[in-house]
Amino acid sequence: MPKQSLKHSNLRVFDHPVIQDKLTRIRNKETNPATFRRLLNEIAGLMFFQMSRGYQAVDIPVETPVEQSTGKQLAHPITLVPILRAGVGMTDGVMGMVPEARVGHIGLYRDEETKKPVPYYCKLPKDIAEGHVLLIDPMLATGGSASYAANMLCEEHGCSNIQMMCLVASPEGVTKMNQDHPSVVIYTASLDRCLNENGYILPGLGDAGDRIFGTV
């Protein structure tokens, strides 16, 4: 189970040894893109397994090979919303657990001078507000992109049941999300130390998008 952060009420941190082992290998600058992608998706699947413990299920009839019985089915649809482009790197890991999940996309990039998010794409299911929404971005740095995406989901699409999954987070990003969207619980493998002067997480792991897609 993830641990509740003592400093941030909206943060849950996975300290599971298997997740931490994989995170350490991801941080290594020598890890190649193929290994980076594999480890990232493995962590995403492990995290989602625990994040989904609170999802509601309903009883449904099921015919086994020997008799009629009753089973469980998720009561609400699940929509994954990766923030492009790096968020795509964790999506397959979650879909390995729930292949029936829908996938929407929000495209944002960070202006390197202002550090503010700039939108360029958004495609979401029309009924996205009717179920669970998992906002995905490997890096929660300044929190600008995550907050902007959450605004889109809440204000423009009426979503109220939102979780966020990230690989590593900065205290600054977690604080901003708590200020802007206190109902959104953030799940991460690590709360890192701080941001540097360029808005990158320390110790971090570099640019997640570049390392996922080999564009370093």
Give per-residue pLDDT as tens, 72-109: 999 999 999 999 989 999 999 999 999 999 999 999 88
Fold of 3-52+77-213: Rossmann fold (3.40.50)
Tokens representing 153 are 């989901």
The SS3 assignment for 135 reads strand
20-29, 57-66, 198-207: the lowest-pLDDT one: 198-207
pLDDT at 63: 95
Q: Give the residue numbers marked as catalytic.
A: 110, 114, 207, 210
Q: What percent of the chain has pLDDT over 70?
A: 100
Q: Residue 58: is its pLDDT beyond 90?
A: yes
- Per-position DSSP letters for 166-193, written without gaps between them: EEEE-HHHHHHHHHH-TT-EEEEEEE-S
Q: Which two tokens stand for residue 213?
A: 């897609």
In whole angstroms, what is the distance from residue 105 CA to residue 206 CA?
23
Average pLDDT, the chain: 93
- pTM for the full model? 0.92
Q: pLDDT-derived band of residue 216, with 50, 70 and 90 as boundaries?
A: confident
Domain boundaries, the chain: 3-52+77-213
